[in-house]
């Protein structure tokens, strides 16, 4: 602005006043009306063209509010679609973890959602502290069901039984290469158990 004032050899204050008048007289895309018209109920007299009517316009605040709400809704949908925004599924009673930038990405202390108001979530944690944050700061902890836990315990017990039964091999086989056979079979069983456990965990996560 100062550079333009020097080039045109005009006062800086005069350019500021002209810029402000242009802003006040320009209709805003959200409301469809200029700031001056919303303030005084009529269009600004710019001195360029004579006013045909001096009668103040009717109160159109309701129309302005509707235009503003529609503009904001369109803007929100556009940005949500562009950024692939997904609706949060957090509900009251869910167990959650909160983001913690100072330590790990997520705090190790779990909490429980006690209230939701808009995008603001209030949670009480196991250490007794209560925090209110935006939904984006929380992550739902999905616990395994009782049936899944019981199935896992049963598989581990079966694995241990197989190890014991495998150790009781025939005496003739044991006489050939006892140490080598036991080590090879134990390694095979351990590898098969690890692979099955990893597959099961990948399905549940």
Is residue 66 assigned to a domain?
Answer: yes
Can you give the pLDDT at residue 196? 61
Residues 123 and 72 in one domain: no
Contact 31, 67 (CB under 8 A): yes
Residues 71 and 34 in one domain: yes
Instruction: Identify the CATH number of the domain in which residue 125 sits.
Output: 2.30.30.140
Which residue matches tokens 């005009």? 10
Task: Tell me if the pTM is above 0.75.
Answer: no
Is residue 177 assigned to a domain?
Answer: no
The one-digit pLDDT tens for each residue of the chain (205 residues) are 667 777 777 777 777 888 888 889 999 888 888 999 888 888 888 776 655 555 555 567 788 888 888 999 999 889 888 888 777 788 898 888 888 777 667 777 889 999 998 889 999 998 889 999 888 888 888 765 445 556 666 777 777 777 767 666 555 555 544 555 455 565 666 666 666 655 555 554 5
Residues 96 and 125 in one domain: yes
Number of helices followed by number of strands (H, E) in the chain: 7, 5
Is residue 24 assigned to a domain?
Answer: yes
Is residue 202 assigned to a domain?
Answer: no
Residues 68 and 92 in one domain: no
SS3 content of the chain, % helix, strand, coil (to 5): 50, 15, 35
Is residue 148 assigned to a domain?
Answer: yes
Query: What Å distances lie between residue 29 and 13, 21, 33, 59, CA to CA?
Result: 28, 17, 8, 19
Residues 36 and 103 in one domain: no
Residues 104 and 151 in one domain: yes
Residues 68 and 120 in one domain: no
Can you give the pLDDT at residue 110? 87
Is residue 145 assigned to a domain?
Answer: yes
Residues 69 and 95 in one domain: no
Q: Domain containing 66: what range?
A: 1-47+62-83
Residues 93 and 75 in one domain: no
Total number of domains constituting the chain: 2
């Amino acid at each position: 602005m100062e550079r333009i004032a020097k080039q045109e050899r005009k006062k800086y204050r005069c350019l500021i006043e002209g810029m402000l008048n242009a802003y006040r007289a320009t209709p805003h895309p959200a409301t469809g009306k200029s700031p001056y018209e919303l303030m005084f109920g009529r269009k600004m007299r710019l001195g360029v063209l004579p006013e045909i009517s001096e009668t103040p316009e009717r109160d159109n605040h309701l129309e302005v509010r509707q235009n503003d709400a529609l503009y904001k809704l369109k803007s929100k949908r556009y940005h949500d679609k562009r950024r692939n925004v997904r609706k949060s599924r957090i509900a009251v009673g869910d167990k959650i973890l909160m983001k913690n930038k100072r330590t790990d990405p997520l705090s190790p202390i779990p909490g429980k959602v006690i209230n939701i108001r808009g995008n603001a979530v209030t949670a009480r944690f196991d250490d007794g502290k209560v925090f209110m944050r935006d939904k984006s700061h929380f992550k739902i902890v999905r616990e395994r069901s009782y049936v899944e836990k019981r199935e896992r315990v049963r598989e581990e017990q079966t694995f241990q039984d197989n190890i014991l039964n495998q150790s009781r091999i025939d005496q003739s086989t044991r006489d050939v290469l006892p140490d080598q056979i036991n080590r090879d079979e134990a390694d095979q069983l351990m590898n098969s158990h690890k692979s099955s456990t990893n597959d099961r965990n990948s399905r549940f996560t």
